[in-house]
Amino acid sequence: MPSDVYFMDARSDSADTSLIAKTTTVFDAAGLDELVSPGDVVAIKLHCGEWNSSAYLRPVYARAIADRVKELGGRPFVCDTTTLTYSPFSTRATELDLLQTAERNGYSSAVLGCPFIVADGFVGTSDYRVDVPEGYLLKEAYVAQAIAAADVLITLTHFKGHGMGVIGGALKNLGIGAQSKRGKFNVHMGGHPKYGVGAAVEFDENFVVDKEADVEWNLIEEACPIGLFEIRDDNTIAWDRDKCMTCLGCLGVMNPRGIFQPNQMLFDATDIAIGDAALAVCKTVPKVGFVTLAIDVSPKCDCAGFSDMPIVPNLGVFASKDPVAIDQACVDAVTESPGTPGSLSEEMGVEEAGERKFDLAGAAIEGLSEQTTINTAVVNGLGTRDYELHHVEPVGRDKFRFPYDERPTKVRFQRMFEKFQPFPFDRHDGHGFDRLPEVDIEAVKPHDGPTVGTHSHAAYHGDGTSHGPNGHGAPENQWHPGEEGTRSHSTSHEH
């Protein structure tokens, strides 16, 4: 049986068709409101964005979901998890770093209307181990503690590309994003005898560090958090590769220098593991729902410290109870869409409608597949690629009015305006402001410039006169000391 996926496109022309309104509209249409019972603790899992990334979801989407959960009687919190070090200068690897990055990106309790927490604790070891006998590759996973403890999980996802995972969808949000740091080591093949970095990467043992030419040569040693690299006296590199955790902190240092050669097998295995780890989360939390916004579809993940222009235009908002179906629906929508002119999809030659975009415009290395994680989640029984797409209609603007004061304008403001009238009716014969009674509007509308012979701003001078383009006084438009406000210029027209 196909799974149900609910969808609203990205066009907006009214309060009830805004993307924020559509987020809660598809939430209800997909029956995710039925997952929340009074008193339920509801985790809203999202990616808060890396330091200096900009395509991540605005916090208002999480706020809208949190407000809806509270209306249903639930107790929401919004969360993300600590990362592996990933680079020599990580910004989300501890709770302290993550909270500061999240707040810079707008994620705080004041904005969200509920707590923002780091679900796997200060270091990332607060977790819950889950057996996954159904897994295609993983047989256990480590789910972030706060997520595992929740009654309901709403997976709020920004759909985009991902250098290693190829796509960053709902499955990645669970299979990496909902794992503790220990779980991320597991998914990224840390210590694996064949697929881990230590086992799989081709290492140039004869590479000689040029300390004079390479001003950041010290990062070769300092990129590893447990000190597995050492530059010998002859400037060759010693690597204790058997102890490698696959934290990935060194790849951005080693690969550009040619010390490492990228290994596709490591990436493919990780993409498989994401599907297995996502299954572990769904086995752990009693009720799970998915809302995905396919907007700002950047080619790389929000975990990069930058955001490239979207590879396709904004597509819309999806919701489902099946993470496999919702990811497949998003992939299909991107495939069917034309690429954004000037984006990486055009640069890689996949900008035409009907072309798979992420294999080349999302993946960090050629040869990866945007279907690997999705297909794994089919094999392990998490969901189905078959889906029925339901186009959801707006529910009306009344539902999306300003909730703090729903009185009409006269009732709200008449008494206040009587005390503090913002419009100066006492000036300029009741017209309020000093303006010319009429100008030639059409003269300044042409796309190739104004059609009037002379159109310039006269300069105001401290002596109370204004001079037009010929230096002649313009007393009829001059500013008079003591008059409310200031007149800094007058306009002269010659026809």
Whether residue 292 has pLDDT greater than 80: yes
pLDDT value of position 453: 72
Check if the beta carbon of residue 17 is closer than 8 Å to that of residue 403. Answer: no
Whether residue 480 has pLDDT greater than 80: no
**Are both 271 and 318 inside the same structural domain?**
yes
**Are both 133 and 271 inside the same structural domain?**
yes
Q: Residue 188: which pLDDT band, with cuts at 50, 70 and 90?
A: very high
State percent of the chain over pLDDT 90.
Answer: 88
pLDDT value of position 478: 44
pLDDT tens for each residue of 336-366? 999 999 999 999 999 999 999 999 999 999 9
pLDDT value of position 318: 99
Residue 24 falls inside a structural domain: yes
**Are both 226 and 323 inside the same structural domain?**
no
Among the candidates 383, 399, 415, a domain finishes at 399
Whether residue 77 has pLDDT greater than 90: yes
Query: How far apart are alpha carbons 357 and 371 in whole angstroms?
Result: 12
**Are both 180 and 233 inside the same structural domain?**
no
Residue 377 falls inside a structural domain: yes
pLDDT value of position 87: 83
**Are both 105 and 233 inside the same structural domain?**
no
Residue 30 falls inside a structural domain: yes
pLDDT value of position 370: 97
pLDDT tens for each residue of 381-421? 999 999 999 999 999 999 999 999 989 999 999 999 999 99
pLDDT value of position 483: 45
Residue 364 falls inside a structural domain: yes
**Are both 81 and 136 inside the same structural domain?**
yes
Domain extent at residue 218: 204-261
The DSSP letter of residue 477 is G
Residue 175 is part of a domain; what is its CATH number? 3.40.50.11440
Ranked by mean pLDDT, the top range of 419-423, 473-477, 480-484 is 419-423
Average pLDDT over residues 96-105: 97
**Are both 215 and 101 inside the same structural domain?**
no
* Burial (CB count <10 Å: 0-12, 13-18, 19+), residue 297: buried
- Interior CA angle at 436 toward 435 and 442, to 5°? 120
Lowest mean pLDDT among 167-181, 232-246, 308-322, 451-465: 451-465
pLDDT tens for each residue of 117-129? 999 999 999 999 9
Could you give the number of structural domains in the chain? 3
Average pLDDT over residues 8-16: 97
Average pLDDT over residues 195-222: 96
Cα separation of the two ends of the chain = 74
**Are both 35 and 180 inside the same structural domain?**
yes
Residue 159 falls inside a structural domain: yes
In the 3-class helix/strand/coil scheme, how is 388-402 assigned residue by residue? Answer: EEEECCCCCHHHHCC
DSSP β-bridge partners for residue 142: 129
**Are both 225 and 284 inside the same structural domain?**
no
pLDDT tens for each residue of 141-162? 999 999 999 999 999 999 999 9
Residue 144 falls inside a structural domain: yes
Residue 420 falls inside a structural domain: no
Among the candidates 226, 242, 261, a domain finishes at 261
**Are both 318 and 232 inside the same structural domain?**
no
pLDDT value of position 492: 41
Sign of CA dihedral 114, 120, 121, 122: negative
- Average pLDDT of the chain? 92
pLDDT tens for each residue of 19-45? 999 999 999 999 999 999 999 999 999
**Are both 435 and 386 inside the same structural domain?**
no
